[in-house]
Amino acid sequence: MGTSKRIKRAPICILAITIGLVLLAYLIDFYPGGYSFKEVENRVIVEKGVFKKETYSLPSTTKNELQIAWLDTSIKNLKTDWLIRVISVGAILIGISHYFENKKRAILITSSSIGIVMAILLYFLYLRDIGYIESLLMTLSKIQ
């Protein structure tokens, strides 16, 4: 198989991987952190992880109602952020493969540089968000 055929198939492979990651995150909470939030009677169940799950069972009272709502929102935002980041990185990689195929070196280097800087920044922002959720979980665990 020639190099040009592999390059032409790259966008299809990138798109398939991107769609797969989006479906895994959406359907089974398979994303970094892997948090899920469920309300059961007067308790809130927060599961962390995909394969090795940690479960937090937190009381839902009027005293911590605002913190519980904030935790729910933070978990939903984390998952949404992950989906946006996966789609963005997939789009950037498809664009880079297009420029690589057309041998436009300047655009390829610029796109790659922007993509790398974005990936690094998004990684640190994602870690910050996970840290915030962890601290909120620890605060709510102590209230019990």
Domain boundaries, the chain: 3-31+61-143
Tokens of 138: 């620890």
The percentage of residues in the chain with a pLDDT greater than 70, rounded to a whole number, is: 94
CB 44 within 8 A of CB 58: yes
Q: What is the pLDDT of residues 93-116, one digit of tens each?
A: 887 787 777 777 777 778 778 878
| Cα Rg of the chain, angstroms | 20
CB 71 within 8 A of CB 46: yes
In the chain, the DSSP E strands lie at: 36-40, 43-48, 54-59
Residue 4: pLDDT band with limits 50, 70, 90: low
CA distance 58 to 38: 10
Residue 144 is predicted with a pLDDT of 62
Q: Is the pLDDT of residue 130 over 80?
A: yes
pLDDT, average across residues 25-36: 88
Amino acid letter for position 104 = K
